[in-house]
Amino acid sequence: MKKYAMTIGGRSVNASDHFEVLNPANGEVVGLAPKTTAADVDRAVAAARAAFPAWSAKPSAERAAACNAMADALKANAEELAQLLTREQGKPLSGLGSRFELGGAEGWTRYTASIDLPVEVIQHDDNAWIEVHHKPVGVVGSITPWNWPLMIAIWHVVPAIRAGNCVVLKPSPYTPLSTLRMGEILAAVLPPGVLNIVSDGPEAGPAMTSHPGIGKISFTGSTATGRKVMSSAAETLKRLTLELGGNDAGIVLPGCDPAKIAEGLFWGAFINNGQTCAALKRLYVHDSLYDATCEALVAFAKTVPVGDGLDEKNLLGPIQNRMQFDKVSGMVDAARAAGARILTGGVAPNGPGFFYPITLIADATEGMDIVDREQFGPALPIIRYSNVEDAIARANASENGLGGSIWSSDPKQARALASRLESGTAWINKHGDIRPDVPFGGVKASGIGVEFARQGLEENTVIQVIHQ
C-alpha cells in the first residue's frame, strides 16, 4: 500500500504515523496519508516564511510565469490526478467529474496568472504624490474540503502565490491523497518553500488557524467549522476568506416550460451528487406548473447513470463518506415520515459503497430538515408556492446566502427578482455557474470575502498607501 508524503521546503517529508484513505464506492483502501502533527505545521510555516522575502520580491511577470508553469504541470499530469481523485472522492471520471475538475483547475490557474494588481495613483502633481500598493500578506494557510478537493485547492493557492505569498495547504482527511500528489507536482515548478503541503491529524487544523506565522487563512467548508476557524484565528487577528455552507433556493416562475428547464434544474441541484456548496438545495415551484415540473425532473433523473466513478458510463458516483451518507438518508426518511412524497429514489441499495439514489421529494415544506438545513447530497426538496412575494420571502428566510436562482421566461422580471435574493450570486435560468473572471462569495452565514477575479486576488494582499 502506497504511503504518501508531505512536501515541506521543496522536499518530500515522511510522517511517523499514517491513516487509511478509503474509496467510497467499495470501501477499499486507496492509500495511506501522513498524520500531520503541530511540529510538522511549524516546519511548513518556517519553510514558507523563509521563502517569502525572495518570492514576494520577484517581479509580477515572473510570478505570472510561475503560475502558468503550474498550469502546464496540471495539464501534463491531469489523467493521473483524475484517476486518484475518483478513487478517493468517488466522483466519476466522466461528465462533470474528475476530468472536469482537473480541467477547471488548469483553467483557473491560467486565468489567475493573467491578473495583476498595478499601483493605483490617486494623486500625482505638485501638491501630493499618493499611491496605493497591494502587498502580499506573507504566509497564507489553506484548508480545503472533500467535495472539490483539487479545484478548491487551486482557488486558494494560486491567487495567494500570484500575489506574492507563500502557502501551507492542508486537505480534508477524507480526500488528502490527490491533493498531496498535486502539491508535490506543483511545488516542483516553484522555488522551495513557496508551496508546502501537509496532511490531516488531530493537531493540524488548530495549529494552522492559531499559528502566529500565518497571516491569512483561506477556508472552504461548513458554516459550523468556519465559525471555529474564525474563533481560532481571532487571537492573532488573521485575515480570513471563508466560503461556507449554502442552502441555495431556486424559484420557478409561472410561464416556464418544465421540459425546457428540467436539465438545468437537475444539474444545478445534482452536480457532484449534490455535494457542492452552491448547488440548488431548495426548489420553489409555482402551483400552475408544480406537477409538470416534478414529472419533468423525474423523467430526466431516470436518464442519469449512477455507479462506480471508474466506470466511464457513470455520471454520478457515491456520497463521499459515511457521515454524509447517514445525514442525507436521515433527512429523507424524516421528510417521508412528515408527509413528503418521494417521487424517485429515497432508499439506499444493498451492496458496498455509500451509494444513494437520485431522490426527488415533493410536498416538502419549511420545518423539515431537508428544507431548513443544507443536505449536501443527492436529494432535492420541491416546494409548492402560490404567490411570488411569498416565494421570495421563504427563499430568503435562511441564515445562509451563498447562491440563488430565478427561472423565468420574462428576462426583465427575472432580473428584478434576482436582485432581491439575499445571496452572493443570483443566477437566472441556471444555477451554480461560476467563472474565474467573476467574483464569488457568500453573504450572511455563507462566508466572508470573495474568491476569483481581481477582487479575489486582492483578498490575498494588504494595502499600503505611499503619501508624499
Among all residues, which ones are annotated catalytic?
243, 277
Q: Pick left, alpha or beta for residue 402 (phi over 0 → left; psi -120 to 50 → alpha; otherwise beta).
A: alpha
List the grid coordinates of 266: 437537475
CA-nearest of 276, 263, 270 to 425 is: 276
Report the C-alpha gap between 457 and 444 in whole angstroms: 22
Task: Determine the Cα–Cα distance for residues 273 and 318; give it in Å rounded to an integer.
Answer: 8
Distance in angstroms (rounded) separating the CA atoms of residues 414 and 408: 6
How far is the C-alpha of 54 from the C-alpha of 63, rounded, in Å? Answer: 11
Dihedral, 9, 14, 17, 23 alpha carbons, nearest 10: 100
Task: Name beta bridge partners: 197.
Answer: 7, 169
DSSP 8-state assignment for residue 339: T
Return d(Cα 356, Cα 169) in angstroms, integer. 31
Checking phi first, is residue 265 left (phi over 0); if not, alpha (psi -120 to 50) or beta?
A: alpha
Of 66, 108, 172, which Cα lies nearest the Cα of 451?
A: 108
Q: Which amino acid is at 40?
A: D
Q: Which helix (H) or strand (E) holds 135?
A: strand 129-136
Calculate the CA dihedral of residues 155, 159, 160, 161 and round it to 10 degrees: 110
